[in-house]
Amino acid sequence: MFRPSHESLLVQNAEVDRLELPRIQDDDELEALKASGALQPIIAGETLRFDPRLDPSRRYCRPWTRDFVQDIAQAYYHRFHEQIQVNSAVRTVKVQKKLRRHNRNAAPSEGDTASSHLAGLTVDLQRRGMTPEQIHWMEHYLFYMKALGLVEPEEERHQWVFHIMVSGRYADWREMQDIIPMERPEPATVTADSHAE
């Protein structure tokens, strides 16, 4: 449903630029962003696990991306009683260049189609091993979020992951979900004394 494309990479980079986020060059810059709280740890638990090959130093992302991951993992667990697996999160330019040497499909480390992992906006969630029903559920969830302008997803065939860039707008949208009561209004009752005026 979400084919990787040049246009999608442009959308992802436009969001990085809109938020004026740096493309993280190296481990020193990465550690500084963690220390400042600009990058938050993704926490494994009942609903979420990591690919064990993912370096613990890179299990971080922007706060709103972390919230998105927690939300989708919780919804997925509620539906299927299985965990979502995070295969990749923040990357540095140095890591991306190394990845490009092994994976021709990996996005570049610079330019207007650079990987949005470099800004900490993006996570890759494992697709391999999901049932058709689970894949359909994920696609439906992401389609809704994309329609709201909150995510830019791609289904990568080479790595078999859902690559999901989360917009900074997700934070405001999520806050609104907590504020606005979702209860249905009580229907007006009609009595025998009611009459048109």
What does each C-alpha distance from 26 to 75, 79, 104 come to in angstroms?
34, 39, 21
Which residue did the predictor score with more confidence, 3 or 31? 31
In angstroms, how far is CA 163 from the centroid of its own chain? 8
Return the sign of the alpha-carbon dihedral for residues 168, 18, 157, 104: negative
> Higher pLDDT residue, 164 or 99?
164
Other CB atoms within a 10 A radius of the CB of residue 35 amount to 9
For residue 115, what pLDDT is reported? 82
Provide the pLDDT confidence category of residue 35 given band limits of 50, 70 and 90: very high
Q: Which residue in the block uniquely carries the two structure tokens 């995510």? A: 151
Q: Which residues of 80-109 are buried (b: 16+ CB within 10 A; e: fewer)?
A: eeebbbbbbbbbbbebbeebeeeeeebbeb
Two tokens, residue 15: 């969001």
pLDDT at 99 > cutoff 70: no
pLDDT at 2: 86
Round the average pLDDT of the chain to a whole number and report it.
87
Per-residue pLDDT band for 96 (boundaries 50, 70, 90) equals confident
Q: What is the pTM of this model?
A: 0.84
- 141's CB contacts (< 8 A; 6+ apart) are 72, 75
Q: What is the predicted pLDDT for the residue at 9? A: 85
